[in-house]
Amino acid sequence: MQKFRKLQRQFVVEGVKMVDELLRSSFEVIRIYATENWINTIGKFATSGFANIQQVTHSELQRISQMKSPNEVLAIVKIPDNESERLIFDDFVLMLDQIADPGNLGTIIRIADWFGIRTIVCSPDTVELYNPKVIQATMGSVFRVHVHYACLPEVIQNNGSGLPVYGALLDGENIFKQQLSKKAILVIGNESHGISDAVRSLIDYPVKIPSMDSGAESLNASVATAVMCAEFRRGFWI
């Protein structure tokens, strides 16, 4: 539960791929629970010098796992203390305003990683980063993308780099017809309500992904993020 994660400053990472990504990162691993097969195959190479590994059976792993089908390994990880880190905007920054769905947040982090975006700033009421569903949906990208929680209007107003602020809005301009800045802030809003009024008032360039008049009201937040990030990054490839 979130309150225990905050109290203990720890979170859980599960699965062979996720733990492999974890062990390649700078995150501090507190303890690993793994099956004999994982320890004797992957573990003996991946955890050299790490002593806090406890062998468990599949049934024992299932009892402590939060996954429907646990697969061989679970790690307890220390939540890094990045609250004192100063936000430096010198490239492309994603801002997420009240994203509520864990799967969306995790997928957006994975999208950011794919497009080389290293900074995401979330509003305080965005779903918690260390929610197990968020972590799982990142597929390891959480270990490479810096995610911060802060008051978005304050961050935008204190943005010393003067980056232009784009916002995904249904009444925005066609993104495919814009001259987009390579260095910018892109705000993605809540799945149901969009961008809050306080943040919306600070957007310089409202943009949208035009539809083909199919009748669909909107795109999923993570899908819209992927399309827009691809368009912002297009200049790097052509």
Give the confidence band of 85 by pLDDT, cuts at 50, 70, 90.
Answer: low
Can you give the pLDDT at residue 187?
A: 98
Note whether 45 and 70 are same-domain residues: yes
Q: What is the mean pLDDT of the chain?
A: 90
pLDDT of amino acid 83: 58
Q: Does 104 lie in the same domain as 69?
A: no
d(CA 116, CA 129): 19
Q: What is the pLDDT of residue 23?
A: 92
Residue 184 shares a structural domain with residue 160: yes
Supply the pLDDT for residue 203.
Answer: 96
> For residue 12, is pLDDT > 90?
yes
Residue 55 belongs to domain spanning: 2-78
pLDDT exceeds 60 at position 84: no
* This prediction's pTM: 0.92
Looking up residue 151, the CATH number of its domain turns out to be 3.40.1280.10
What's the pLDDT band for 158 if we cut at 50, 70, 90? confident
**Residues 50 and 109 placed together within one structural domain of the fold:** no
Give pLDDT tens digits for 44-65.
777 776 778 999 999 999 888 8
Residue 86: inside a domain, yes or no? no
Q: Answer whether residue 85 is part of any domain.
A: no
Whether residue 77 contacts residue 27, with contact meaning beta carbons closer than 8 Å, is answered with yes
**Element spanning 133, H or E:** helix 132-138
Tell me the C-alpha to C-alpha distance, in Å, between residue 60 and each of 57, 63, 64, 73, 205: 5, 5, 7, 11, 53
Q: What mean pLDDT is predicted for residues 110-133?
A: 96
Short-list 97, 192, 103, 100, CA closest to 149: 97
Whether residues 66 and 107 share a domain: the answer is no
Domain count, the chain: 2
